[in-house]
Structure 1
Amino acid sequence: MNILITAANSASAYRLKNQLSDNNIIMGDYMDLPDFMLKPGKMVRLPDPKSVSYTHEMLTLCLDLGVEALYLLRPQEMELIKQSEILFNEYQIKIVAGVNEI
């Protein structure tokens, strides 16, 4: 089972990663990430929530990466994805908004 945690450039994302203690965790962010962080494969660049097709881009990325749980740490991401939670559920992708719902 792969887990995708957003807001990879924040301390809360790394705290969550340590709490989950799973080897199949992928960190991602749409904000600037240094290229050296993206090369190892456990960090991905996410679509920008300002994109009109953000939800579909995120769903495609989750399916490509085999994600079964998506932890959304930024309010803008949460708001957009929660509107399409049924779509993600159809593909057995669990949406978890924020770190308080672990």
Structure 2
Amino acid sequence: MKILITGGNNAKALKLMKAFPGHFVLLADYGDVPSIITENYAFATLGVLNKDSIAHLLLNYCITEAIDSLIPLHDYEITPLAKSAVLFGEYGIQVLTPQPELIESYLSIEKNTFDNFVVFIHGECIFASGGEIFIRREDELSGVFGYNLPDDELKLFTV
């Protein structure tokens, strides 16, 4: 599977790579990005940032690069991509965000650095950096969420 993680110039994106061993991870960001390609991952540029057409830009990029799954880390990408997830799905691209109507409840008011993160795909926890076992959540819950302690409220893991 080929996974695109946006915010690739940020350390949080690098942390996420350990959640996907055995998959090729493309770390991408807007503007200048170092051109590094290895067997398991690469860095790439998404070009010039245009927040008004973010979903269109990322859909074109995902189709061109044969991306299977997209993990948006920039906070300004979350809502437009959640609203466009059905369109991405028509091209076989899975967008890991909560449902659009749930996003507000998972946003953090202040920028937070989390000790841990957890990845959910359709309610199933596929990775928790703290080693905890998370019980299945709502079937529609997808995305990367940060937490410090296992009992904390999960918040979107954004840059």
Give the shorter-chain TM-score range: 0.7 to 0.9
Contact 1:6–1:73 (8 Å) recurs in 2: yes
How many Å separate the matches in 2 of 1:79 and 1:11? 22
Equivalent in the alignment of 1:40 = 37
The answer for unaligned runs of 5 or more in structure 1 is none
User: Alignment partner of 1:81: what SS?
Assistant: helix
Equivalent in the alignment of 2:19 = 19
Deviation, structure 1 residue 79: 1.4
Contact 2:70–2:93 (8 Å) recurs in 1: yes
Q: TM-score, normalised by structure 2?
A: 0.54
Equivalent in the alignment of 1:29 = 29
Q: CA 1:78/1:31 → structure 2, altered by over 3 Å: closer, same or farther?
A: farther
Superposition pairs for residues 1-80 of structure 1, below 5 Å?
A: 1-33=1-33, 37-38=34-35, 40=37, 42-47=42-47, 48-50=49-51, 52-80=52-80
**Number of residue pairs the alignment of both structures matches:** 97
Q: Runs ≥4 in structure 1, deviation > 3 angstroms?
A: none
User: Alignment partner of 2:68: what SS?
Assistant: strand
Identity %: 30
The answer for unaligned runs of 5 or more in structure 2 is 98-142, 146-155
